Amino acid sequence: MIEIGDRLFVDGHTCSVLFIGYIPAWKDSRAFGLEWDEPKRGKHSGYLNGVEYFKTRIPNAGSFVKESKLLYAIQSRKSFVEAVNNVYLRGLENREDVFFGFKKVELFGLNVLASKNQDLENLKYLDLSAKLIASSGETKDLLALNFRFKSLTQLNLSSNLFKDFSEVSRVLSGIPHLRSLDISNNRFEVYSNAADAEQVQSLEELRANFCQLSTEGIANLLSYFPNLKRLELSGNCARELDSISFPASLSELSLAENCLSTMPLNIFEASVVRLNVSSNKIYSLLGGVFPKIEALDLSYCCIDRWDSIDEICTNFPNMKDFRINGNPLTMDESDDNVFLQLIGRNRNIDRLNGSFLTEKVRYDAEIYFMAQVSTQNATINKAGRQWNYLLQKHGPVSRGGGSIGSGTIFEILTVDLEFEGYKVRELSMLPSYSIRFLKTTISRTLSIPASEFNLYYVLEGGTQQEFSFEFSPISMFNIKSGDRICVDLKNAKRRSSAS
């Protein structure tokens, strides 16, 4: 029996039933209006010949299918009890014999595996992802089965066909020591807050990604799990989460790929130290200082101003790990100016966009940034903590030798980068850069692995001299602003020699 809201697996793809009835084109056959999880499979949004039969959440993700084409999909749905029996308890009873030529092969490994799987009392990880599970099963069968999960700590129910979270709750109720649960890629409603008797006190980690949960649904879901430490809610199309109370025990939270325009401030009432809000519509942060956050992922958002970066650095004083790639401000990852400014504007980060920062890189980046500010190529609040910190650490800095006040003067070199005889761009660098760091910079600029090109500097008279001693500083080669640095491909050189 199929109802509105049921989930089906049709021709290798999951979908939700949004309409059951008749349409003029199929007078003698019931039509099922489906919304596909993969929108590309759809043909419309529920309209046909000017009539709205249903409405998809995602435009053009819907289509009609005749009942006759759904019979197998309907019969294929399983309960949790049936899935456990099929995967873990059936063992090798129905396994066909395997032969190598005319000789029967004894599959000892599979027998041992089946025996181990059947030992549910000692099973710690239960993987039932993508097993077409739509319900929990009969109460007496479920109770008898869950009684055996005495050691189970991890359960994967992702990519199944649940439509009502209460069925998942029934599964969890008999598992006493569950620590980790994955229910991602289901499409269910969570209708009401959990009673105390339904709460899973032991659960510490929950993955509920791409479930299309509403804000109310997320709030209701969290009421079942009061002691979470790690929570993933990516891809749920949430626009605001300010009304949600996150567990006070929460230390890691992912809200990636939602529709947030601001960061929900209520998350800081918890103990979150690692926060992922990547791939949202966030363009700035609200006020406040959040000293608990140590890792922040803001990649692929809408940050487009340097003062927003300064605001982030001020508001997250203990942030050590920062991801900001893929924003309008940082879209060009080959731009070393952006990379160096990001480091120069934050004295605390140890890791930027996945790269660990050495003290040498930090030192060079801070000097570069100060020179950019002193020549008005970058701006920063000179009354702020970061600029005062830089002045106290390095003294005044300028480009090319013009002094500002007293203290050490650092020079920024600007050279022409040539590739196969043509100027590509200007490069700004510090004399203290190593040749290896310079090669890494050029590799990013040209999108060519550093191992596949040779690097030369041009002497007076046009003679090219290859850089040697990769760990030596650029200053060793007497490079000056306006000099040329040339790149050629190693393979091209070998081909030229061969001809």
Give 221-266 as a DSSP string: HHTT-TT-SEEE-TTS--S--TT----TT--EEE-TTS--SS--GG
CA dist 297 and 253 (Å) reads 11
Q: What are phi and psi of 37, to 5 degrees?
A: -65, -30
Alpha helices in 375-434 (DSSP H): 385-394
Tell me how far the alpha carbon of residue 423 is from its chain's centroid. 37
**Does the pLDDT value for residue 407 go beyond 50?**
no
Same domain? 446 vs 373: no
pLDDT of residue 279: 97
Which pTM was predicted? 0.78
- Among the listed residues 40, 37, 42, the one whose alpha carbon sits nearest the alpha carbon of residue 13: 37
**Does the pLDDT value for residue 106 go beyond 60?**
no
Same domain? 293 vs 337: yes
Compute the radius of gyration of the chain from its Cα atoms.
30
Same domain? 356 vs 452: no
**What average pLDDT score do residues 159-178 get?**
93
Question: How high is the mean pLDDT of the chain?
Answer: 85
CATH number of the domain within which 12 lies: 2.30.30.190
**Does the pLDDT value for residue 402 go beyond 60?**
no
**Does the pLDDT value for residue 352 go beyond 90?**
yes
CA dist 220 and 229 (Å) reads 17
Is residue 85, in this structure, part of any structural domain at all?
no
Confidence of residue 197 (pLDDT cuts 50, 70, 90): low
Q: Is 11 left (phi over 0), alpha (psi -120 to 50) or beta?
A: left
The SS3 assignment for 97 reads coil
CA dist 343 and 277 (Å) reads 20
Is residue 272, in this structure, part of any structural domain at all?
no
Q: Is 298 exposed, middle or buried (0-12, 13-18, 19+ CB in 10 A)?
A: buried
Same domain? 464 vs 376: no
User: What does the block give as tokens for 140?
Assistant: 């007496």
In angstroms, the first-to-last Cα distance of the chain is 75
Sole residue written with tokens 């040697």: 468
Q: Is the dihedral of CA 440, 442, 446, 452 positive or negative?
A: negative
CA dist 303 and 341 (Å) reads 15
CA dist 222 and 305 (Å) reads 35
CATH number of the domain within which 312 lies: 3.80.10.10
The amino acid occupying position 411 is E
CA dist 339 and 330 (Å) reads 8
Sole residue written with tokens 């599959």: 107
Domain end among 20, 47, 76: 76
Residues 464-495: pLDDT tens digits? 999 887 777 788 888 888 999 999 998 765 44
Is residue 139, in this structure, part of any structural domain at all?
no
Same domain? 349 vs 441: no
β-strand partners of 8:
15
Same domain? 423 vs 333: no
CB distance 373 to 346 below 8 Å: no
The count of structural domains within the chain is 3
Residues 220-276: pLDDT tens digits? 999 999 999 999 999 998 888 888 999 999 999 999 999 999 888 788 778 899 999
Full domain range(s) for residue 51: 7-76
Same domain? 432 vs 386: no
pLDDT of residue 310: 92
Domain end among 76, 104, 122: 76
pLDDT of residue 205: 98
Is residue 323, in this structure, part of any structural domain at all?
yes
Same domain? 299 vs 381: yes
Same domain? 368 vs 424: no
Residues 410-434: pLDDT tens digits? 567 889 999 988 999 988 877 777 7
**Does the pLDDT value for residue 196 go beyond 70?**
no
Same domain? 289 vs 382: yes
Residues 130-155: pLDDT tens digits? 999 999 999 999 988 888 899 999 99
Is residue 210, in this structure, part of any structural domain at all?
no
CA dist 453 and 492 (Å) reads 9
CA dist 260 and 278 (Å) reads 10
Domain end among 76, 95, 112: 76
- Among the listed residues 75, 18, 67, 21, the one whose alpha carbon sits nearest the alpha carbon of residue 46: 18
β-strand partners of 434:
473
Tell me how far the alpha carbon of residue 345 is from its chain's centroid. 25
Residues 367-391: pLDDT tens digits? 888 888 887 889 999 999 999 999 9
Note the maximum CA span of the chain.
Answer: 91
The SS3 assignment for 121 reads helix
Is residue 345, in this structure, part of any structural domain at all?
yes
pLDDT of residue 242: 86
pLDDT of residue 109: 42
Is residue 172, in this structure, part of any structural domain at all?
no
CB distance 344 to 368 below 8 Å: yes
The count of other CB atoms within 10 Å of the CB of residue 341 is 23
E strand or H helix at 373, and its extent? helix 359-374
pLDDT of residue 116: 46
pLDDT of residue 96: 52
**What average pLDDT score do residues 448-469 get?**
89
The amino acid occupying position 364 is D
pLDDT of residue 194: 61
The CA–CA distances, whole Å, from 322 to 75, 163, 297, 386 equal: 49, 37, 6, 17
The SS3 assignment for 450 reads helix
Helix axes 306-315, 385-394, angle to 10 degrees: 90
Is residue 156, in this structure, part of any structural domain at all?
no
3-state helix, strand, coil in the chain (%, to 5): 30, 20, 50
CATH number of the domain within which 437 lies: 3.10.20.90
Same domain? 287 vs 364: yes
- Cα–Cα–Cα angle for 272, 276, 279, rounded to 5 degrees: 155
- Among the listed residues 194, 235, 186, 192, the one whose alpha carbon sits nearest the alpha carbon of residue 216: 192
Same domain? 288 vs 376: yes
Helix axes 336-344, 435-446, angle to 10 degrees: 120
Q: Is 442 exposed, middle or buried (0-12, 13-18, 19+ CB in 10 A)?
A: buried
